[in-house]
């Protein structure tokens, strides 16, 4: 058995390197998977740019698909060789957050933490590597049905779970009007999620022709190009005010625009990662008297969440494959980061094969 593996290691702002590092081995209730496919996430870009701090020397990435290579003591119902999907969030199932119905806010037995249950590529080594150590494996290994490929499930680990979670947190109901600001990968999944939850009108807003076309493919009934029209005015003209507005970028402008689109009593579902201060516009917030609700979402994780998402793909209700537009090896991941960060060549999501 090899003692070393290749991994993408963060060393500082704009400094990532593929290098050999010690290969992990599992302890109690842990597992090690051989990573067969992973991706680059927008949050990884925040880390690379220094907008979200992590420690130097950390392996980054949090969207893993793989094959069980080793099982630690206490993990039952799995065997070496099983194909598994692991969520970006790894709840323990035993802490206050998990037992209170908020597994995404898992404190891993240590109480609540600001980043909740997100550990891969944040507080522990992540998935852009040949092998990955999975904590609380019993709660976090979801077996992949034989008929589903790695590419069909890899996006479920984070962006699909987060995007669908945005529609769920927003409380989308049958017949609702919904607008989704920013049709990047997470916004596109929020668009698909709103449609699946019964929205009668889903509006996608972006300023990129390819992303607007993909929004229609993912279920948007109407798309608005903010480069050529006032998106808020157009949404209000079409709806008089939406039931749910999803903000999927993490900027002041999109947050404010989403808020201005709400009807009285509507919900703003915030999915963006905000790198700076977010202000509440007095008028858009109806001076606090509009019965508005603002909900935030951290990607739901755990094996049951992964099973449910795979069931949606298996049934044909959701097809994530159009979102994977590029494929790279781990050795060429720096080039993939440049492509993804600059949004070149119509990139949506990049599959990384170790």
Dihedral pair phi/psi, residue 5, rounded to 5°: -145, 165
Q: Are both 137 and 262 inside the same structural domain?
A: no
What CA–CA distance (Å, rounded) separates 33 from 299? 21
Residue 93 pLDDT > 90, yes or no?
A: no
DSSP 105: G
Q: Are both 51 and 122 inside the same structural domain?
A: yes
Is residue 136 within 8 A of residue 303, CB to CB? The reply is no
Q: Are both 170 and 231 inside the same structural domain?
A: yes
pLDDT in tens, 50-78: 988 999 999 999 999 999 999 999 999 99
Residue 116 pLDDT > 80, yes or no?
A: no
Which of 250, 278, 296 is the endpoint of a domain? 296
Residue 36 pLDDT > 50, yes or no?
A: yes
Residue 26 pLDDT > 90, yes or no?
A: yes
Q: Are both 147 and 103 inside the same structural domain?
A: yes
Which of the residue ranges 18-32, 77-91, 189-203, 274-288 would you say has the lowest mean pLDDT? 274-288
Please report the pLDDT score of residue 84 as a whole number: 98
Instruction: Write out the two tokens for 286.
Output: 């109806």
Please report the pLDDT score of residue 164 as a whole number: 98
Q: Are both 265 and 233 inside the same structural domain?
A: yes
What CA–CA distance (Å, rounded) separates 296 from 129? 30
Dihedral pair phi/psi, residue 193, rounded to 5°: -65, -40
Q: How confident is the model at residue 345 (pLDDT cuts 50, 70, 90)?
A: very high
Q: How confident is the model at residue 113 (pLDDT cuts 50, 70, 90)?
A: very low
Residue span of the structural domain in which 192 resides: 163-296
Which of the residue ranges 41-45, 229-233, 336-340 would you say has the lowest mean pLDDT? 41-45
Instruction: Write out the two tokens for 296.
Output: 């935030």
CATH number at residue 55: 3.90.180.10
Which of the residue ranges 92-106, 156-170, 307-321, 337-351 would you say has the lowest mean pLDDT? 92-106
Residue 111 pLDDT > 50, yes or no?
A: no
Which of 296, 326, 345 is the endpoint of a domain? 296
Domain count, the chain: 2
Q: Are both 14 and 154 inside the same structural domain?
A: yes
Residue 114 pLDDT > 60, yes or no?
A: no
Closest CA to 160 of 131, 139, 190: 190
Q: Which strands sit side by side in the sheet containing 4-12, from one edge to the other?
A: 15-22, 4-12, 58-59
The DSSP bridge pattern shows strands 349-353 and 31-39 to be antiparallel
pLDDT in tens, 133-182: 999 999 999 999 999 999 999 999 999 999 999 999 999 999 999 999 99
Q: Are both 130 and 210 inside the same structural domain?
A: no
Q: Are both 17 and 125 inside the same structural domain?
A: yes
Please enumerate in sequence order all residues whose Cβ is within 8 A of that of 281, keeping only pairs 6 or more positions apart, or say none: 256, 259, 260
Residue 303 pLDDT > 80, yes or no?
A: yes
Please report the pLDDT score of residue 112 as a whole number: 41
Please report the pLDDT score of residue 97 as a whole number: 84
Please report the pLDDT score of residue 115 as a whole number: 56
264: left (phi over 0), alpha (psi -120 to 50) or beta: beta
Is residue 167 within 8 A of residue 190, CB to CB? The reply is yes
Residue 230 pLDDT > 80, yes or no?
A: yes
Q: Are both 280 and 305 inside the same structural domain?
A: no
Q: Are both 130 and 170 inside the same structural domain?
A: no
Q: Are both 11 and 147 inside the same structural domain?
A: yes
Nearest 5 degrees, angle CA 150-CA 153-CA 154? 75
Which of 296, 313, 328 is the endpoint of a domain? 296
CATH number at residue 177: 3.40.50.720
Which of the residue ranges 29-38, 98-107, 275-284, 321-330 would you say has the lowest mean pLDDT? 275-284
Q: Are both 233 and 148 inside the same structural domain?
A: no
Looking at residues 260-265, what average pLDDT do you find? Answer: 96
Please report the pLDDT score of residue 22 as a whole number: 98
Distances (CA, A) of 314 to 14, 84, 190, 223: 38, 15, 19, 28
Looking at residues 194-201, what average pLDDT do you find? Answer: 98
Judged by DSSP in three states, 84 sits in strand
Instruction: Write out the two tokens for 171.
Output: 């409380």
């Amino acid at each position: 058995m090899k003692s070393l593996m290749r991994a993408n290691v963060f060393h500082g702002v704009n400094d990532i390197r593929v290098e050999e590092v010690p290969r992990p081995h599992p302890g109690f209730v842990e597992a090690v998977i051989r990573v067969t496919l992973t991706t680059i996430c927008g949050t990884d870009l925040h880390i690379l740019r220094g907008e979200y701090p992590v420690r130097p020397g950390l392996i980054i990435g949090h969207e893993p698909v793989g094959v069980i290579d080793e099982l630690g003591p206490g993990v039952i119902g799995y065997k070496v060789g099983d194909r598994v999907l692991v969520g970006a969030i790894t709840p323990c199932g035993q802490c206050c957050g998990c037992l209170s119905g908020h597994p995404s806010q898992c404190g891993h037995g240590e109480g609540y933490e600001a980043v909740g249950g997100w550990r891969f590529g944040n507080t522990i080594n992540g998935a852009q590597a040949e092998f990955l150590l999975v904590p609380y494996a019993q709660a976090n290994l979801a077996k992949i049905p034989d008929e589903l490929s790695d590419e069909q499930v890899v996006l479920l680990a984070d962006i699909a779970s987060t995007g669908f979670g945005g529609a769920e947190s927003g409380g989308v109901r049958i017949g609702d009007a919904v607008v989704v600001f920013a049709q990047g990968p997470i916004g596109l999944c929020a668009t698909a999620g709103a449609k699946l939850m019964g929205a009668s009108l889903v509006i996608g807003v972006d300023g990129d022709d390819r992303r607007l076309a993909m929004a229609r493919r993912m279920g948007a009934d109407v798309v608005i190009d903010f480069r050529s029209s006032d998106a808020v005015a157009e949404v209000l003209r079409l709806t008089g005010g939406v039931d749910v507005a999803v903000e999927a970028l993490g900027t002041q402008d999109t947050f404010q625009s989403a808020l201005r689109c709400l009807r009285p009593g509507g919900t703003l579902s915030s999915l963006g990662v905000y790198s700076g201060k977010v202000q509440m516009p007095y008028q858009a917030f109806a001076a606090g008297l509009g019965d508005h609700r603002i909900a935030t979402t951290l990607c739901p994780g755990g094996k049951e969440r992964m099973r449910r998402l795979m069931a949606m793909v298996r049934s044909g209700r959701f097809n994530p494959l159009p979102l994977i537009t590029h494929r790279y090896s781990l050795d060429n991941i720096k080039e993939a980061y440049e492509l993804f960060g600059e949004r070149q060549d119509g990139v949506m999501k990049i599959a990384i094969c170790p």
